[in-house]
Amino acid sequence: MASFFDDIGTLISMAITPALLLLGVMLQMRVLNNRLERISDRSEVLEGRLSSGSGLRPALVHELSVLQRRETAIHRAFGLSTACMILICSIVVALFVDDSIHLKLDSLIAFAFVATMLLLVGSFSLLMHEIFIASHSLPATALHRRQPEGQN
C-alpha cells in the first residue's frame, strides 16, 4: 500500500511543473487580453472621430491600420497560448495514463513538452512584436517630449 502512495506522490510532483507552466501561460493570456481591450477601446474612439468627419482623416486611417496590425499579432499570440495550454493539459493526462496503464509514453511526453515550449516561445515573440509595433507607431512628440526651458 505504501508503494502506491509513493508512486502517486511522485506522479503528482511530476505533474506540478506543467501545472505551474499552465499558470504562467494563463497570466500571459491575461496580459494579452488587457492589451487587446486597450486596442479595441482606442479603435472605437478613432472610428468615432473618423465617422464624424474630422479633418485628420489620413492620420486616423493610419493609426487604425497600426491598431489592426497590433490586434492581429495579439490574436495570433492568443492562438499559440491556447494551443500551449491544451498541450500542457495533454501532458498531464499522458503522465497519469502512462503511470496507470504502464504505457511507454516517455518519448511522446518529451516531444509534447518541447512542442509546448516552442508554442510558448512563439506566443512571447508575437507579444514582443506587438509591443514593438506599438512603441514604434507613437508620434515623435510622444517619444521625445521636450521639457519647457528652464526645467532640467
* Local confidence band at 145 (pLDDT 50, 70, 90 cut-offs): very low
Name the least confident of 54-58, 72-76, 95-99: 54-58
User: Cβ distance 63 to 137 under 8 Å?
Assistant: yes
- Rounded to two decimals, what is the model's pTM? 0.78
Q: Flag whether pLDDT at 14 surpasses 80.
A: no
Please report the sign of the dihedral spanned by the C-alpha atoms of residue 21, residue 25, residue 26, residue 28: positive
Tell me what pLDDT residue 33 has: 96
Residue with cell 506599438: 134
**Where is 128: in which H helix or E strand?**
helix 106-136
Q: What b/e sequence results for 73-95 when a residue is b if at least 16 CB atoms lie within 10 Å of its CB, and e otherwise?
A: bbebbbebbebbbebbebbbebb
Measured CA to CA in angstroms, residue 73 lies from 133, 135, 144 at distances of 9, 14, 26
Tell me what pLDDT residue 54 has: 65
pLDDT, greater one: 111 or 59: 111
